[in-house]
Structure 1
């Protein structure tokens, strides 16, 4: 048996109380709040279950089994663990004393199917017109920022957006925890690493990003920007590596740009605020805003917004190209009537025939 097969077998034993949930394709996330409380997410909504672990020690044993597999430790001195199961599912653990109520284990399950923009249209998360527009924008090498709150499907949508990248390009994917699965044949996946118990072996997103610039990328995709690597990413966008895609936690397009600006200031480069803002304004072309409905749990694109630079007061300016409208047929992403400022590039690149549904956006 291979190492992964041995671990999978031991995992089946230690996680027996939730084993059927791990195999349930309708469950997207499992949340264990101590041995007696297990919740799941189905269809974007949370549900309580009757699953329990026999004791706190049984739950701790499962957690230590996972830590052993990834070669890390979890204890009172290191009470937080990020790991990945053999199938790619993402695991996050917090134990006492950092977790007052006992061991907290969260498993975000790995999607075996990869969704394209057409799938998002079929699911009602995106309109056909908007999907065509985004596909063309990717081919025109626009830098696109996917924004949304926790659990809105940013990574899944980023993956779908990536399918619009031409198959002959070399793509470097950088993630904190590997989740993206691109369809292009020439894709290189880089993953950050945490330090071992001796504080060695840590590899940050920023280090990987700097390494990727020396790997002859046509495109760089960063799963999520969380720190000072935002500055390196913005500067690379401005220095020839256009067509980048990434995600950020933010509830509006303006918040997304402000957060990117703030993250840039977290780098070890002393940068005036106005310079960070100017770089973000010059680098990011489009913001795709996602949200999750509190009523039905459905994840939707609520806005596709062009970022149009800074005004005289040094504030970001925006133009909504698509906006979610609640009409008689329910929520629908509709064209606002505004045209993209980079519409002329469509003709320059010979892609006019591609704009069959979205021609009005390219006017």
Structure 2
């Protein structure tokens, strides 16, 4: 795979035009890559080349960035387009770009030799469960089960590694919520775009160069509870905001969703207690609130270029600690089967006979 575009000119003039909104090509030679169907990430860390991910792993692409100065100029321009400062005094930027895509950029000497640019492409429209089934992520019976989980207003935790499809799955599920329900989505960057008529978005604000003005995720979760939500959704739980999410899910705000990074469902209890510790919560409190507030754990993984839901689990309180028990699982033979916690899930859905019927 190869791709070429006009070379990016270095210089602060480019960043100035981006800040003023006068530049229609702030992405430079990367604009063509961002428009390739299926691309989720575009990465640059040396002149003349980029790496793109279309679901099959990273692929090298030629780009017209002639030297390290050109890469730096592009990084500065991208940061400016996202309203962020990027220079020697502030060599790291994390921003949302005008097209909704997410930027992370690092300048030398933090990134020795050449600036490093990482772009995450945000999907403008949520995939449906039918789309996920067509891609091999789920099958028809699993799609029916997921739809019932949403209709039953069970609280959902989606876990998986980076790039496994957590956000994609969550947006698809939120699209199934009843049209009259008010969904309040709290995010670090605006990535979740459910096909739903009543979505309120709250996006974290970083501190300015003076270190003031930050509005963090924990505060936004608290603010969301004052906005008459039917469903409270946190894009990614990665710190002290876990305390606020568990509090919301345990005080009548059912049907909420969030994601965490975890390599497998069995790692979820440790991840929850670790995040709770960042909020000053004792492990026993995290375990009790998690068991009471979180109903279903959905694990997604990525292998062979396919993002797939592999396990539907329930979170149970045990002595000691938490247990994530499998209710529905993708087997190595290429089929789904009931797990030991199938009865618990079916009972939570109000149909002990057959939850996925």
TM-score by length of 2: 0.88
Is 1:322 the counterpart of 2:309 in the alignment? Answer: no
Other-structure match for 2:216: 204
Matches within 5 A, 1:265-344: 265-267=277-279, 270-293=280-303, 296-310=304-318, 312=319, 314-327=320-333, 331-336=334-339, 338-341=341-344, 343-344=346-347
- CA-CA distance at 1:15 after TM superposition: 3.9
Cα distance change on mapping 1:274 and 1:209 into 2, 3 Å? same
Unaligned runs of at least 5 residues, structure 2: 1-15
Asked whether the 8 Å contact 1:33–1:101 carries over to 2, the reply is no
Secondary structure of 1:25's partner? coil
- CA-CA distance at 1:116 after TM superposition: 1.5
Is 1:136 the counterpart of 2:148 in the alignment? Answer: yes
Q: Distance in 2 between matches of 1:56 and 1:103?
A: 7
- CA-CA distance at 1:85 after TM superposition: 2.2
Asked whether the 8 Å contact 1:171–1:219 carries over to 2, the reply is yes
Q: Match for 1:185 among 174, 190, 197?
A: 197
Other-structure match for 1:126: 138
Q: How many residue pairs get matched?
A: 342
Cα distance change on mapping 1:260 and 1:97 into 2, 3 Å? same
Which range moved further: 72-81 or 147-156? 72-81
Q: Distance in 2 between matches of 1:69 and 1:5?
A: 5
Asked whether the 8 Å contact 1:35–1:55 carries over to 2, the reply is yes
Matches within 5 A, 1:41-120: 41-120=53-132
Cα distance change on mapping 1:115 and 1:35 into 2, 3 Å? same
Asked whether the 8 Å contact 2:326–2:342 carries over to 1, the reply is no
Secondary structure of 2:105's partner? strand
- CA-CA distance at 1:322 after TM superposition: 1.4
- CA-CA distance at 1:196 after TM superposition: 1.1
- Measured on the aligned residues, the alpha-carbon RMSD in Å equals 2.4
Asked whether the 8 Å contact 1:171–1:218 carries over to 2, the reply is yes
Q: Distance in 1 between matches of 2:47 and 2:189?
A: 26
Asked whether the 8 Å contact 2:346–2:353 carries over to 1, the reply is no
- CA-CA distance at 1:37 after TM superposition: 3.2
Is 1:10 the counterpart of 2:23 in the alignment? Answer: yes
Q: Distance in 1 between matches of 2:353 and 2:43?
A: 45
Q: Distance in 2 between matches of 1:271 and 1:337?
A: 31
Q: Deviations over 1:82-107 (max 9, x none)?
A: 11222211111111222124211011
- CA-CA distance at 1:6 after TM superposition: 8.6
Asked whether the 8 Å contact 1:338–1:361 carries over to 2, the reply is no
Cα distance change on mapping 1:65 and 1:101 into 2, 3 Å? same
- CA-CA distance at 1:256 after TM superposition: 2.1
Cα distance change on mapping 1:299 and 1:8 into 2, 3 Å? farther
Other-structure match for 1:150: 162
Q: Distance in 2 between matches of 1:221 and 1:83?
A: 21
Cα distance change on mapping 1:287 and 1:76 into 2, 3 Å? same
Asked whether the 8 Å contact 2:108–2:114 carries over to 1, the reply is yes
